[in-house]
Structure 1
Amino acid sequence: MSLPLSVIPIERSEDWWQIRHQQKLAEKQGLNNDVDLLFLGDSITHSWEDTGADTWQTHYAHLKPLNLGYSGDRTEHLLWRVQNGEIEGLSPKLVILLIGTNNAGHRVESAEDTAAGVSAILAEIRSRLPETKILLLATFPRSKSPNAPMRKRVNAANALTQQLADEKHIFWLDIGSEFLTDDGLVLDTVMPDYLHLAPAQYQVWAQAMANSISRLME
């Protein structure tokens, strides 16, 4: 069943997005809602299913995971998905949330607006999954240079979203330095388009989260 266009967030009425939403609802049901580790995000998270598939299999397949990353999503798109069935019936031990880079990129949004969107998502998750811990990831660095306007917008948003972590239910983790040179550059061997991770970087990402995941899923 396709979704009524009138209720889909702007720019998210593409057929593939509707289809993925329905597929993910079905996947969740197929798992009998038995999910312990839930990933929420955009294309960087979506790509655990292809670019990062081998790493996913090694690190997460045994942890009852579900990937709810959608390419191109901004905060409002993820908020809509959370409000429209994608986490209903679940009770994961941990949610890993990475969102906001498309707010900085697609719409050149202010840091305040991006942080407000992340805050709304966190509030919705906490309301629907009160027993679940949330690992809130800093948005990964983008653009080659640390002086690039896009990088500065991401950094400014991260400074605000970090304040949303209470270290009781919502835990902050910034692994951005893992993807940078000592001079703060993003290399094209790490992010070929200075945004999306190369395959080997999914292993870097997984290792950088390993201790936090282990601790928070106890």
Structure 2
Amino acid sequence: MMLRALLLLALQGPLALSAIASGAAAAPCGAAPTGTLASSPAPRADERGQRVTESRMAALPVNPAETLLVGDSIFDFWRSAAADLGQPVTNFGVGGDRTENVLDRIDRADFPRDAFRRVVLLIGTNNLGRDDACAILGGIAAIVERLHRRLPRAEVVVVSILPRGPGLRRRLEDIEAVNQTLVRDQAAMRIRFVDAFTPFVQACAGQEKCGLLPDRLHPGPDGYRLLGASIAAALDGR
């Protein structure tokens, strides 16, 4: 019942119900920045990141599902994604990825022809602190453009950056600027935006450490159920 109530609130207006929102306006970035680290394809420099990336790349053509998950550790660690979303998925998430690493991976990927009906993207939290909101938006826009080019028949779904840190306040201004701009520009970007930020904020209001995000970044089992329900509800309402 709590999940349903939170989702009904969230669907009334993306990001409008954040209990801790600062009211920051969407970042006035203008045209998506180019040439930044966030929007320039780059492979992972660390051994573990390279190993996981190559493993995901090798598994990509094997029995692909209609829904492709693309992102960082929040997707990489989502072992219950198929159950939480109620549909088979191919998980293309790699822990630790920033936008530039996803760009590199998409450029090199051997995508099965016409395999994916939908791509769900969640990326950007690892760019926080190094990149400002406009640079992160430029990276996300570059990924979306690549996905439209590489998978022209697939719907591209972009999930909001989730809240993080003590009291879910860390880098809040940048997170809200990115999310609010994606809400505003989703038609121009040819994406469907999913607000998963608001349900987490509502459920965790007033808590310095929330059980839905036990390490203050990654969802726990209940958090993943909420994330899956947020995505599924938005897709069901199209």
User: Under a length normalisation based on structure 1, what TM-score does the superposition of the two structures give?
Assistant: 0.79
Match of 2:50 among 10, 18, 41: 18
The answer to whether the Cα contact below 8 Å between 1:180 and 1:186 also exists between their aligned partners in 2 is no
Q: Give 1:185 deviation, angstroms.
A: 5.1
Q: Give 1:205 deviation, angstroms.
A: 1.1
2:111 — aligned with what? 87
1:115 — aligned with what? 137
Separation in structure 2 between the aligned mates of residue 73 and residue 96 of structure 1, nearest angstrom: 15
- For residues 46-57 of structure 1, the aligned pairs below 5 Å read 46-48=76-78, 53=79, 55-57=80-82
Aligned length: 197
Q: Give 1:206 deviation, angstroms.
A: 1.1
1:5 — aligned with what? none
Query: Kindly tell me: are residues 93 and 70 of structure 1, through their superposed partners in 2, closer, same or farther at Cα, counting changes over 3 Å?
Result: same
| 1:160 alignment partner AA | T
Match of 2:196 among 169, 175, 181: 175
2:83 — aligned with what? 58
Match of 1:43 among 67, 73, 81: 73
Deviations, residues 142-164 of structure 1 (Å, cap 9, x unaligned): 12336x45112111121223333
Separation in structure 1 between the aligned mates of residue 104 and residue 52 of structure 2, nearest angstrom: 14
**SS at the partner of 1:135?**
strand
The answer to whether the Cα contact below 8 Å between 1:119 and 1:161 also exists between their aligned partners in 2 is no
Separation in structure 1 between the aligned mates of residue 120 and residue 198 of structure 2, nearest angstrom: 18
Deviations, residues 33-75 of structure 1 (Å, cap 9, x unaligned): x331000011111111xxxx2x324245753x21111111111
| 2:183 alignment partner AA | Q
Structure 2: tracts of 5 or more residues without a match: 1-40
**SS at the partner of 1:96?**
strand
Q: Give 1:130 deviation, angstroms.
A: 1.2
Structure 1: tracts of 5 or more residues without a match: 1-7
Separation in structure 2 between the aligned mates of residue 16 and residue 121 of structure 1, nearest angstrom: 23
Separation in structure 1 between the aligned mates of residue 135 and residue 110 of structure 2, nearest angstrom: 24
Separation in structure 1 between the aligned mates of residue 209 and residue 202 of structure 2, nearest angstrom: 8
Separation in structure 1 between the aligned mates of residue 181 and residue 188 of structure 2, nearest angstrom: 15
- For residues 1-218 of structure 1, the aligned pairs below 5 Å read 9=42, 12-31=44-63, 34-48=64-78, 53=79, 55-60=80-85, 62-63=87-88, 65-85=89-109, 87=111, 89-105=113-129, 107=130, 109-145=131-167, 148=169, 150-166=171-187, 169-181=190-202, 183=205, 187-214=209-236
Q: Give 1:14 deviation, angstroms.
A: 1.9
**Two-structure CA RMSD over aligned residues (Å):** 2.5
Separation in structure 2 between the aligned mates of residue 168 and residue 113 of structure 1, nearest angstrom: 16
Query: Kindly tell me: are residues 98 and 207 of structure 1, through their superposed partners in 2, closer, same or farther at Cα, counting changes over 3 Å?
Result: same
Query: Kindly tell me: are residues 154 and 9 of structure 1, through their superposed partners in 2, closer, same or farther at Cα, counting changes over 3 Å?
Result: same
Percentage of matched positions with identical amino acids: 25
The answer to whether the Cα contact below 8 Å between 1:24 and 1:86 also exists between their aligned partners in 2 is no
Separation in structure 1 between the aligned mates of residue 161 and residue 227 of structure 2, nearest angstrom: 12
Q: Give 1:177 deviation, angstroms.
A: 1.8
The structure showing larger relative contact order (alpha-carbon pairs under 8 Å, at least 6 residues apart) is: 2
Bigger mean CA offset, 187-196 vs 206-215: 206-215
Bigger mean CA offset, 95-104 vs 166-175: 166-175
